[in-house]
Amino acid sequence: MSVQQQSDSVAREKALAAIENMSARETGLVAYQAGGRLLIIGGANALAVAETIAAPLVPSVISLEEGASSAVPVTFARGRPLSIEGYLGRFSITLGMEGRQERLQADLVLDLSPVPLLTRAINPTGYIACPSESSGKLPEALEQLSGLTGAFDKPQFFDYDPNRCAHARNGTDACTRCIDTCPAEAITGAGDGVMVDPHLCQGGGICASVCPSGAIRYAFPYPVDLGRRIRTMLNEYRAAGGMSPSILFHSEASPAPGLLEAFPGLLPIGIEELASVGLDIWFTALACGARRVLLLEDSTVPSRVSSELDNLLTVSGEILSGLGYPTAAVSKIRAGDPMGPNEHEMPVIAPAVYALMEEKRTSFYFALDHLQSEADRTKALVSLSVGAPFGAAFVESKSCTLCMACVSACPGNALQDGGGEPGLGFVEANCIQCGLCTRTCPEDAIWITPRLLLDRDARHQKRVLHQEEPFCCVTCGKPFATRSVIDKMMSKLSGHYMFQDDRSRQRLMMCEDCRVVDVVQDQEAMRDGQLPQ
């Protein structure tokens, strides 16, 4: 080991010692209460296994095959559809079609079916599948189930703010990223927002990383607490004489000691799940002076989660390239992989000293602005891959009537009214590319494109997408609509029987107050019921 490597190793030990006793806010707890009611599902083997079960487990069986009676309670499936819902202590098993269903309750489920009934990437706690080809694992499964009786707590891994959620507005669905990526299938749509079942959630974290608005955030630890650990490690490492520090995120089960021995500049940070850190945390680490950010992936990461991490890394690389930094400064590795050449390292920059922020997008933008200020040369605009949480909206002026449906639907306040004038404004920093505006616009006049403005002022400046002269009431002169709205209304009502004479058509060009006065003075209109409701 060289002199510098020895110095780096000592510096790393000091950095690790500095965060050892750092406090972090506690998250909430999720409680489970489970007795020993064990339901075993399978063929003839299910009965054989059930008869070997001892306390504290109390077995019952759903048999997929007809068979003899047993001392163990048996329900015969007889070809009926079978489904499982719930979690440890509250499993509900349904046999049969709607209207002719039989329901059973259980605390634990041992699934010996040839094909497991639940095939989620992360199945609920208390459910274990052990198909025939895995029969050698049966003793281990039974031992694990025996230990799952009593009262248990686990952390609530997430916080959810429905006010930030872009899932839906007024019955129009848009963002489903958390639902699509959750490996435990713990997230479902619920009106305009989503619902996360805390008992099904296993802390996979990808929901928080892909959420474009920050409506879901990881809470074990909270982002600011993790950011403080990162900053403290990097500062202590440099103060102790360490060179070229890199942050290595790994699950608690994967410290990769061989990797750390080979590269003394790696500063390991253990996290519950690899996918719980995303763009905001990665860029915060780079802004605080990390030369690289590495994600140590192992076989426990579900393929769906790994794929989503790849998508985020693609966006990260596009942004870093636009800033003039190495694309692979943030990357995934596996134990045994080569670290890659030094050109993947960031240049030495002044570490950021800004206050760490809890809100996801603000945290990312603070880090981005610092990296941009330290860069030698950057682009003004970076085009991003589809699915990136940053971008712009554009409007076809000929089609837009300034109805403001898009403004009321926009969850990030990126689309805004004209501030007293008929117009549609846009603040690009607020756009999360959820697509609600495009789905809501009755004229199909809006489209969006993923990109990122690297200049802070340009990103936060409100610009006009569409503007019109106000249309003024033909009676009192008060502005109350736009010319395009009035023209559209006149065209749509041209064939209506209530608007065939000049006076009734003229009424369409009046404000609401003047229209009421004119209708009251028009006896024919009163008979036809034209008084506004």
> 390-403, pLDDT tens digit by residue?
999 999 999 998 98
Q: What distance in Å separates the CA atoms of residue 289 and residue 39, rounded to the nearest whole number?
A: 54
Looking at the predicted structure, is the pLDDT value of residue 234 above 60?
yes
pLDDT for position 529: 58
Model confidence band, residue 266 (pLDDT cutoffs 50, 70, 90): very high
Task: List helix spans (H) across 273-338.
Answer: 279-287, 303-323
Task: Give the pLDDT confidence score for residue 489 in this predicted structure.
Answer: 85
pLDDT exceeds cutoff 90 at 528: no
Which percentage of the chain shows pLDDT scores above 90? 77
Determine the Cα–Cα distance for residues 319 and 415; give it in Å rounded to an integer: 24
The pLDDT of 425-438, averaged and rounded, is: 98
pLDDT confidence of residue 530: 57
**CB-based contacts of 15, cutoff 8 Å, min separation 6:** 232, 233, 234, 236, 237, 240, 242, 245, 267
71 CB burial (10 A radius; 0-12, 13-18, 19+): exposed
- pLDDT of res. 256: 66
pLDDT tens track for 297-333:
988 899 999 999 999 999 999 999 999 999 999 999 9
What is the tens place of the pLDDT at every residue in 332-372?
998 777 776 678 999 999 999 999 999 999 999 999 999 99
Give me the residue spans of the domains in the chain. 3-23+222-377, 32-154, 156-218, 391-467, 472-528
pLDDT of residue 158: 96
pLDDT of residue 533: 47
Rounded to an integer, the average pLDDT of 408-432 is: 94
What's residue 60's pLDDT?
96
pLDDT of residue 341: 63
pLDDT tens digits along 444-492: 999 999 999 999 999 999 999 999 888 889 999 988 888 888 888 888 8
Mean pLDDT of the chain: 92
The C-alpha atoms of residue 303 and residue 251 are separated, in whole angstroms, by 16
The CATH class for the domain spanning 156-218 reads alpha beta
User: What CATH class has 391-467?
Assistant: alpha beta
Domains 32-154 and 391-467 share a fold: no
User: Is pLDDT larger for residue 414 or for residue 478?
Assistant: 414
**CATH topology (fold) of 32-154:** FAD/NAD(P)-binding domain (3.50.50)
Mean pLDDT of 214-243: 97
Q: How confident is the model at residue 419 (pLDDT cuts 50, 70, 90)?
A: confident
Q: Is the pLDDT of residue 80 over 90?
A: yes
On whether the CB atoms of residues 62 and 41 are closer than 8 A, the answer is yes
